Amino acid sequence: MDLHEQLKDIKTQLRLSMNGAVSQSMREKGLVYKLNFGVELPRIKSIAAAYEKDHALAQALWKEDIRECKILAGLLQPVDTFYPEIADIWVDTMPNNEIAELTSMNLFQHLPYAPAKAFQWIADERELAQVCGFLTIARLLLKKGDMTDRVSNEFLDQAVCAFLSGGYQVRSAAMAAIRRFMQHSEEHAFMVCRRVEGMKDSSQESEQLLYGLVKDEVGG
């Protein structure tokens, strides 16, 4: 099949798998797409499994303003042809937190330049760029978790700042990365505890919240 036929075939499979109740539920939760078939993730993955990873197909799917096509794009994009400038374009056009989370899991964490790019994204002013950055870092920490002292301090500076000043989605993504960092070693956990120890009696609600979450993570 050529590219046009592949896209047509994928959209046909999505329509046949449509779940109106799921689509409606997502709209009610604020996940708005031009088109959302409400197809559940296991079915999307089974559709992806029938295709070879293909750069042109993935790029074409990403350009579709359809929830399932965006998810499939991350599953079908080969790592070796996903250059840093293309990663930035995808982040620039990231529609919402759901796609940010799934694309970070399915694609971004596997990129050879993922650490450097993720740090670039968490320093971005845009919320979804920050979400992509923190979620990618969380995935990288889960896989290996190694950071130099300088990088660890830079990460904590950015993550704490994002948690204290960011919106709900950024705060959640930053906390996910902080948790993974703490779980890597006792030394990392100690670093975070030292960073927040003065927030216990803070007048800022966000600082008290961060202190409480860190305390819960260490079991104290």
Mean pLDDT of the region 191-220: 92
Q: Is the pLDDT of residue 127 over 80?
A: yes
Which range among 17-26, 66-75, 95-104, 116-125 shows the weakest confidence by mean pLDDT?
17-26
Q: What pLDDT does residue 211 have?
A: 96
- Tell whether the torsion through CA atoms of 88, 92, 96 and 97 is positive or negative: positive
| Predicted structure pTM score | 0.91
Tell how far CA 177 is from the center of its chain.
Answer: 11
Mean pLDDT of the region 157-163: 96
Q: How many residues does the chain have?
A: 220
* AA identity, residue 178: I
* AA identity, residue 117: K
Q: What pLDDT does residue 143 have?
A: 84
Mean pLDDT of the region 151-167: 94
**pLDDT confidence tier of residue 220, bands split at 50, 70 and 90:** low
Write down the mean pLDDT value for the chain: 93
Q: What pLDDT does residue 24 have?
A: 83
Residue given tokens 């994002």 in the structure block: 162
Cα angle value 158/164/169 (rounded, 5°):
85
Distance CA 200, CA 47 (A): 49
Q: Is the pLDDT of residue 1 over 90?
A: no
pLDDT digits (tens, 9 = 90+) for 24-81: 887 777 777 788 888 999 999 999 999 999 999 999 999 999 999 999 999 999 999 9
**pLDDT confidence tier of residue 147, bands split at 50, 70 and 90:** confident
Q: Is the pLDDT of residue 162 over 80?
A: yes
Which range among 19-23, 95-99, 197-201 shows the weakest confidence by mean pLDDT?
19-23
Asked whether the beta carbons of 136 and 118 are under 8 A apart, the reply is yes
Distance CA 75, CA 32 (A): 21
Which range among 10-19, 65-74, 164-173 shows the weakest confidence by mean pLDDT?
10-19
Phi, psi of 66 (to 5 degrees): -130, 130
List Cα–Cα distances, 205 to 9, 19, 108, 173, 201, in angstroms.
51, 40, 33, 18, 10
